[in-house]
Amino acid sequence: MNIRNILKISITLGIVAATYISIGNTFAENIINFSEYQKEVKTITIKNISKTKAFQEIMQAQNTPCEYIIEKKDMYIISPSCLLKNELPKIEFKEAIDYLWPYIDSFNMVYNDVSQTFSYQWTSPIFKKNYEIIPKTLEEKIILTRFQNKWEKIRIHKSSLAYQTVKKANFYTVYKDTSILKRCTKKNYTIALNKINGVILWSEETLNLNKEIMKLKWYCKWAGAQDLLFYGWVCGFATQLFRTSLLVPTIEITKRYPHNERLVPYYSDYVFWDDAALYEMNKQLEIKNTWKSDLYLKVLEKDNANYFVIITPEKSNQWVTIKKSQGEWLKAEVQREIYQEKTDMLIKKDSFISTYIKKTYTTQ
């Protein structure tokens, strides 16, 4: 068992459940479901309310301690003051992202594989419903204050609390349609993909994809050598990992090799050159997390496709531009430029050269 798996197990076993805090004599009739609170908000007419008095009462309610208990079936009962001052029960980031993952529908921006030049900062998930619970309007704050004054509590689902942790994160993702892949292609691609799904790339840690996927069971060997470390068509995932890594400003791509041929399933019919090839330990793909925080690598399945996602728990102040260009025949370059967000100052430039022996359009 490698050190990453040992540490992942340690984290899983070491997660401390949220502390139960007493909130006094809480009876069923004093507990308001969050949906009931939202209905109450719609009944308020601000023009009939003294705003000065309302603000004073809100400030007083905000000074009331935030208290909560964990109820069964992933429900929390919290005092309204918790929402008024955005002081909610803490959920560890990995637990929050794992819990919330099934509630994500898609992403609003992905790697652009049909343009030769594009910029990318970071994206956010598109959720199946709205999980925001922090009050924004005066109406919402007034209702919460009334609940607080009557010592009523609010029942909130864990998904909304997890969202409060996850919404501060950055997401970088590459979409892949797997419906076009034939049986062996899809099988080997999926084996490589699943081995990386859920991996935490620690700060300053290096991940070598060849080492991660070597000697796994159930590869489709097809024809040829039967004693390889891994088999054909894992490069589909290597390309997906390479492209995602290009988007993350704090990932350094320390090793990357192109294919000798252009294959449509990896590069599409539009723009190519941004691929990654693996073969034994000769052609490798290796990335390093140079950031102060850990990175989380996840896969979101979507019908006959998926999003491979790299997540940073904190917002980045950098963005990238990807430029793909072809020089002489069958020689191309992928260039990544990393910029500072506020000043647009160029921080770093990376270049990845591809030289192809021939151009083929065969599918697998």
**pLDDT per position as a tens digit, 216-260:** 999 999 767 889 999 988 999 999 999 999 999 999 999 999 988
**pLDDT per position as a tens digit, 71-112:** 988 999 999 999 999 999 999 999 999 999 999 999 999 999
Q: Is the dihedral of CA 211, 212, 218, 219 positive or negative?
A: negative
Query: Is residue 251 within 8 Å of 287, Cβ to Cβ?
Result: yes
| CA–CA gap between residue 179 and residue 129 (Å, rounded) | 27
One pLDDT digit (tens) per residue for the chain, 364 residues: 444 443 343 333 333 333 345 555 566 779 999 999 999 999 999 888 999 999 999 999 999 999 999 998 899 999 999 999 999 999 999 999 999 999 999 999 999 988 999 999 999 999 999 999 999 999 999 999 999 999 999 999 999 999 999 998 999 999 999 998 999 999 999 999 999 999 999 999 999 999 999 999 999 997 678 899 999 889 999 999 999 999 999 999 999 999 887 666 555 555 678 999 999 999 999 999 999 999 999 999 999 999 999 999 988 899 999 999 987 777 889 999 999 998 999 999 999 999 887 665 544 4
Q: Per-residue b/e over 34-54, b at no fewer than 16 CB within 10 Å?
A: eeebeebeeebeeeeeeeeeb
Query: Is residue 78 within 8 Å of 67, Cβ to Cβ?
Result: yes
Hey, what amino acid is at 61?
A
Query: Is residue 241 within 8 Å of 201, Cβ to Cβ?
Result: no
| CA–CA gap between residue 318 and residue 42 (Å, rounded) | 40
